[in-house]
Each structure stands twice: as C-alpha cells, then as structure tokens.
Amino acid sequence: MSQQATRERGAAQDGAAMATLTARGLVYGCDYNPEQWDRDVWREDVALMREAGVDLVAVNIFGWSHIEPEPGVYDWSGLDEILDLLHANDIRVNLGTGTSSPPPWLSTRHPEILPEQPDGTTRFPGGRQAWCPSSPVYREHALRLVEQVARRYGGHPALALWHVSNELGCHNALCYDEDSAAAFRVWLEARYTSIANLNAAWGTAFWSQRYGAWSEILPPRATLSIGNPAQALDFHRFSSDALLDHYRAETAILREHSSAPVTTNFMVTAHIRNLDYWTWAPEMDLVANDHYLDHRLADPVSELAFAADLTRGLAGGQAWLLMEQATSAVNWQPVNVAKTPGQMTRNSLTHVARGADGVCFFQWRASRQGAEKFHSAMLPHAGTDSAVWEEVVELGATLDRLTEVAGTRVQADVALLFSWEAWWAADSEARFSGDVRYLDQVHAAYRALYDEGVSVAVVRPGGDLTGYRLVVVPSLHLTRDAEAAAVEAFVAAGGHALITFNSGIVDETDSVRLGGYPGAFRDLLGVRSDEIFPLLPGQSVTLSDGATARTWTEHVRTTTAQVHATFADGPVAGGPAITRNAHGAGTAWYVATALDADDLRALVRDVVEQAGASAPGAGLAAQAGGRVEVVRRTAPDRAYLFVINHGTSDVEVPARGLELVTQDRADGVVVVPAGTVRVVREETQP
Ligand code: GAL
C-alpha cells in the first residue's frame, strides 16, 4: 500500500465519530422541519424516509420559537414526539441546539442583540440569524436554551450527533456594533499585549492613526477613504474567533449532559469566506460541510470538487459528512438552475469519491411557505410522482451498495495550499487590482489540475507536505515565514512547486515584504520583481510560447531561475513570464501572470508530468465528450475506483473487479455510460 492513503494530516479528528455514524453504512440524511407541517404529515414523512433509505435526520435547526415560546417557558411536545417517532422507525437524529435564529420575543426585549453593519445600520428580525456574535445577552439566552435541550435529549436513544446552531456566520459573521467593538479590543489586547505593538503591527504611523489607548479602537466601520487594511484583517480573524468561541460555549454544555459527538455545518462553498475553518476544524468531532452548486461561477462543477477536497483537508484526510446540498435548484441565486437527470447523483458521488462518508440534503420536504418555498427538497411539492423523488430513492439504494467504501481514504499526489487569511488579505481594499481575486486564482489552479485528471489534497499553508510530489501555491498573497519555509523545505527535499503571481507579498501583519516581489518566495523561485503591471479589463498579453494571459503582469528579473516563457507584448514585453528554478533536489516554477485556462492547463500538464504525479483521469474527456472524474479511495486492504462521467458519451476505463453500482464484474475495463457513476472494488491494487 502506498503512503498516499495516510498523507493528509492536520485536524484533530481521529475518525472515530464518523466511523460510529457509518457503522451501518454510508449516511443518507436530511434536514427536517416538522414544525412546518401538521402531525399527520409526520407519519407519512417517516414512512417515506424509510422508503428512501434515509437514516440520519437533522431536527430543531430553527426550533427556538417553538420550544421556548415565551422566555423560560418550554414546550417539548412536538420535539418529543418527533424524536420518538424517528427512533421507533430506526432513524437516527442529528439534533440541532436550536440557537440559530432567536425568537421575536428576544429581539423585541433586547434589540441590542441585533447585528450592525459597517455604516451603523441595524439588520432586523424577519430573516434569520439576526444576532451579533459578541452579544452577551444573546449568548446568555442561547446557552440557557442549549442547557435545556441537552438535559432533555442528551441521553435520548435516537441521538447520534449534535448539530450546533446552523451555518454559524452565514449572514452575521461580521458585526460592527458596540458589543463587537468591546470584544474586539479584548481580543486585540490578548494578541498584542501593548498598544505600541498594535501600532507597529497595524502601521498606524500612516494617516495619523496612532492609538493611545485600547478604548480608541473601533471595528473597521465605514470610512470616507480606504480603511486600514491590517485593522480589517485582524477584524476578520477576531470575527472568526468570536463565532468559534460561541461554538465552544454551546459544545461545553452539550458535553456536560451527553456523550454524543458534536459538530456544526461548515460552509466550504464559493461565496462564503468569513470563517477560518483551519482553526475551527480541530474542534469538531467530525467535519461536516454544506455545499451548493453556484451558477454565478464560471465553472460550478470543478468548484464542487474543490470544495469536497478542501473539506477533506479540513478533516485531516479523514472521512467527513456532507450535511447539506440540494436535490435540484436552490432559491437564493439570481437564477436558480435545476439539476438535470443524473446530476444530483453525480454531485453526491463526487463528494463521496472525495471522502464524504455520508450525503445529506437540505431539506426533506419542500416548504409551502417562507423564504425557501421554491428551494428543492428530497420530497418535492409534486410529491413522490416526480423525477426528483425517483432519483432520491435510487441514490439511497446506490449508497447502500457503496457501504464498504466507508472509512477509506482518498489518494492524491498533489497538494494545493489554501488559506482564509490569505483570502482576506488578498481581497482587501488596498491591492494592486480589483480584478485579481484570490478565490478566482485558487479555482483556476484547481480547475487545471481537475481537467488534467489529477487528484488534489488541499492543505493548510505550513501543513505537512511529506509524500506529495507537487505542491501548487495559487496567489498566496499573505504568507507567513513558516509557511514559505515549509514549501522551501519540500522543494529542497526533491519536491516540485508551482507558485502563481501575487504570492508571498505580505507577512501576517499585512506588511509588504521588502526587497522585491514575490517576497517570501523570491529565493526559492530565483526571481525578483520590482514592479507589478496589472492589465485593464479586456486587455491581454501573449507569451513567447503562444499562451495568452490577462489581469496581471510584472517586471520579473531572474536571479537563479531559468526562463520558460517570456512576455511577447504588453507592458513588460521581453521579460520573464514563466520561470523554473532548481532548488536543492527539487524544482520551483513561477507563473507571473494569469494564464488563460487552456494555457494554464498545458503548463500544469507539463509540471505534473515532470513531478511524476499520477493523473488517473487524464485523457478521458475526449472519449466522453465532457468531463470525467477519476478518484481512488483506499484502505490497507482494499481500493475503490470512482469514475464520474459528466460527458455525453460512454467511457471505458481500465479496471478489474466488482462494480458496486451495477454489481457487474469489470474484467479489464469498466464501461461508464454518459452521465453516470461507477465504482469498482479493484482486485489488483495499483
Ligand atoms: C443553507 C442553510 C439551510 C438552507 C439552505 C438553502 O445555508 O443551512 O437552512 O437555508 O442553505 O440552500
């Protein structure tokens, strides 16, 4: 067995909580909001859940106003009945603490809990999550509720998992009110210990911002000009920590009354960026993620794979749980695109191929009322006589046949570094170009690897790179010394690195690294740039190898690197655009511009090949007339080959063993019909 299966490390989970959940097979579940329905519907729901194979149901996610209709007055009748009903039907419960959205009585009595925007305006109840993460009043009421819920249900036989709040920080991560200001000051004092240190870290010599006392410091509220970027960066860190602190407070109470594992649903999905999940993940008993296809992106399909790989990275390579996704359309995008037949299954099994040991949906039954009444569900408005329901039942059966995959690990030779704090710093107001956005660059690099059939492990900068052949570092604008040193050591020991523009520019205080760009990686890359020349929208440049690039160019001089391609035109015509530097026993590549997708892909193909990294899905797209994902999950005693065909023609992939979806044998080749997924239990390990 190669070492690959055990390479990804970093989070504290040992896989035990997830393994307990999957003792009966891969999890199949959903959010269920019975409070929206009459009791006679509950019985029908549970019967249909059994028909679909649903075995983990999240309840009480938005339950607060039902279970505590008046301050200190509790009504458990509905929740008691639901838990007992689910239990009687052998369906396990993923129990919400119910604190996600406070009841109207609380915000009426205590309007000071409401969140405030940078311009000082309040956000009111009527939607959800209308609370300030630093509000002591909200915290007190929320924890009182958690105590009651934990006491009542902590030993309930149906309880399999605690679900703290819901998508913490989805809407309210950044709050700028007085409570936040006070908590921010406490956080800063702990971080900097003296106001002089803070002044130095924030560069307050600029624009007369020197602080004389902690009390003078505010959250980065709306300003007339660009605000202090270091202050904004620290406010992001503080805000992520404030919500994590809330998670910890709820969890501590749950643990007093219950031994069930605790988690919350992350939002590793394109449009959410306010929580640094690298710091959160080690505190989860298991990592759970919510993912929705985002049709505002250029390429939602590869983004889904990226999010799944990143979630596995957060889980330290262990299995994780897909806590929410949609069976078809969502309700919150400008146009809510429905899934085509087979797409929901492909999406689900992409998550499984990339380490999810369970697939859950928001939600069980489509709502008739409320903001999400047009969001898809497992049981649509049309009822069971519907394409969605048929696919839901079929997916349940497929997951059953994949039971033995649980607990296996994903193989990858290539690591990609991803950082929330680099995201915050790169997309700050003080930047070279508003057209250079961190996530776009991460997605571009990931997509090139994805299209080349390469499996990717997403790693926290500074994390263990042992055993990978190539590390890809897209636009890591903020790079800590130790993070740069880890990449350097990896290359020195014989690894390959591919680093793209806008990396290594600032340190952890958002201060520019002097002496030339890309600061932290200058020596490793053997280059030094003295000026950045961003391009205007619509402008492009050509490279000496015929590639096209946009958005960013820079005046690069090589110190020890060799030039792979130069800029043929544009503001730095004649200068290096792509370089390659021998460093120790390895090689470090630099890409000083934003290559068009096909050109980046061609470069990645070369680099992957030179690094000797495997690309199990390479070359299948032409056969399929569309993309084909090939991912391998392994354990010491077994291996599974997942092939996901997004194309319009069938593909044939070399494989030998039992194909689990159809239960047919693959004798040297598995045929994967257009639009379907096949999973082969391989007889001969690679
Ligand atoms: C999530 C949330 C669910 C539901 C879903 C809709 O953000 O946790 O409650 O709103 O999105 O896509």
Encode pLDDT of 466-524 as tens digits: 999 999 999 999 999 999 999 999 999 999 999 999 999 999 999 999 999 999 999 99
Give per-residue pLDDT as tens, 43-90.
999 999 999 999 999 999 999 999 999 999 999 999 999 999 999 999
3-state helix, strand, coil in the chain (%, to 5): 35, 20, 45
Active-site residue, selected from the candidate residues 68, 116, 167, 421: 167
Structure confidence at residue 494 (pLDDT)? 98
Structure confidence at residue 684 (pLDDT)? 72
Give per-residue pLDDT as tens, 547-589.
999 999 999 999 999 999 999 999 999 999 999 999 999 999 9
Q: How close is the Cα of 686 to the center of ligand 1, in Å?
A: 40
Of the candidates 616, 615, 663, 642, the residue with the CA atom closest to the CA atom of residue 405: 642
Give per-residue pLDDT as tens, 617-627.
999 999 999 99
Closest residue by CA, ligand 1 atom 7: 167
Closest residue by CA, ligand 1 atom 10: 372
CA–CA distance, 554 with 577 (Å, rounded to integer)? 8
pLDDT value at 169 more than 50: yes
CA–CA distance, 285 with 232 (Å, rounded to integer)? 31
3-state secondary structure of 496: strand
Indicate if ligand 1 lies below 6 Å from the C-beta of 58.
Answer: no
Active-site residue, selected from the candidate residues 8, 250, 324, 452: 324
Confidence of residue 539 (pLDDT cuts 50, 70, 90): very high
Active site (annotated) includes residue 167:
yes
Rounded average pLDDT over 397-413: 97
Q: How close is the Cα of 367 to the center of ligand 1, in Å?
A: 12
Indicate if ligand 1 lies below 6 Å from the C-beta of 375.
Answer: yes
Q: How close is the Cα of 636 to the center of ligand 1, in Å?
A: 37
Question: Are 633 and 355 spatial neighbours (Cβ–Cβ below 8 Å)?
Answer: yes
Rounded average pLDDT over 373-391: 98
Confidence of residue 10 (pLDDT cuts 50, 70, 90): very low
Indicate if ligand 1 lies below 6 Å from the C-beta of 377.
Answer: no
Q: What angle do CA 125, 127, 133 make, to 5 degrees?
A: 65
CA–CA distance, 655 with 487 (Å, rounded to integer)? 35
CA–CA distance, 93 with 84 (Å, rounded to integer)? 10
Q: How many beta carbons lie within 10 A of that of residue 548, not counting itself? A: 15
Indicate if ligand 1 lies below 6 Å from the C-beta of 330.
Answer: yes
Q: How close is the Cα of 82 to the center of ligand 1, in Å?
A: 21
Tokens of 134: 């630093």
Mutate to test the pocket of ligand 1, among 170, 290, 374 (most ligand atoms within 8 A of CB): 290
Rounded average pLDDT over 424-440: 97
Mean pLDDT of the chain: 96
Confidence of residue 13 (pLDDT cuts 50, 70, 90): low
Structure confidence at residue 38 (pLDDT)? 96
Closest residue by CA, ligand 1 atom 2: 167
Q: How close is the Cα of 324 to the center of ligand 1, in Å?
A: 8
Percent of the chain with pLDDT strictly greater than 90: 97
CA–CA distance, 348 with 370 (Å, rounded to integer)? 27
CA–CA distance, 125 with 109 (Å, rounded to integer)? 12
The amino acid at residue 92 is R
Tokens of 535: 């391009």
The sign of the torsion formed by the CA atoms of 605, 609, 610, 611 equals positive
Give per-residue pLDDT as tens, 315-353.
999 999 999 999 999 999 999 999 999 999 999 999 999
Tokens of 440: 């776009």
Give per-residue pLDDT as tens, 15-33.
899 999 999 999 999 999 9
Closest residue by CA, ligand 1 atom 5: 362
Nearest ligand 1 atom, CA 332 = 12
Rounded average pLDDT over 598-622: 96
Q: How close is the Cα of 449 to the center of ligand 1, in Å?
A: 30
Mutate to test the pocket of ligand 1, among 36, 64, 94, 167 (most ligand atoms within 8 A of CB): 167
- Global pTM reads 0.97
Confidence of residue 14 (pLDDT cuts 50, 70, 90): confident
Q: Exposure string (b/e) for 662-674, b if CB count within 10 Å is 16 or more?
A: beeebeeebbbee
Mutate to test the pocket of ligand 1, among 168, 293, 372, 378 (most ligand atoms within 8 A of CB): 372
Question: Are 37 and 365 spatial neighbours (Cβ–Cβ below 8 Å)?
Answer: yes
